[in-house]
Amino acid sequence: AQKITQTQPGMFVQEKEAVTLDCTYDTSDQSYGLFWYKQPSSGEMIFLIYQGSYDEQNATEGRYSLNFQKARKSANLVISASQLGDSAMYFCAMREGRVDSSYKLIFGSGTRLLVRP
């Protein structure tokens, strides 16, 4: 069975510094996708970044980058130049199986990030 592990329940970072949120995964599929979502206290899940298992380069989206190490089965999120608005819960997620008209996302337990001024 597929599994996502986030080992950091909570993290602090100083404003304007970079922070890395850890995510490891376990799957026997050759084709899979990894996602990071941000969930502020308002509850909405905001899509941040995606990495496909066959993508050769690490994904980047603005201040977000994904450090993908396939052999180690890790997909860590790096947030550069942290801002106060980055304080939120962050979930790593994996798509199960091949893409069809629908697919399941399974989520890790999350990391709560607090940015200090």
Provide the binding-site residues for other proteins, judged by CB under 8 A.
33, 35, 37, 42-47, 50, 52, 91, 93, 95, 99-110
User: Residue 50 or residue 64: which is nearer to other proteins going by CB?
Assistant: 50
Q: How far is the CB of 111 from other proteins (least distance, A)?
A: 11
In order of 19, 40, 87, 88, the CA distances from 43 in angstroms are 22, 6, 13, 10
DSSP assignment of 6-56 equals ---SEEEEETTS-EEE--EEE---SS-EEEEEEE-TT---EEEEEEETT--
User: Residue 27 or residue 108: which is nearer to other proteins going by CB?
Assistant: 108
User: Residue 14 or residue 109: which is nearer to other proteins going by CB?
Assistant: 109
Q: How far is the CB of 73 from other proteins (least distance, A)?
A: 19
Q: How far is the CB of 44 from other proteins (least distance, A)?
A: 4
16/18 Cα distance (integer angstroms)? 7
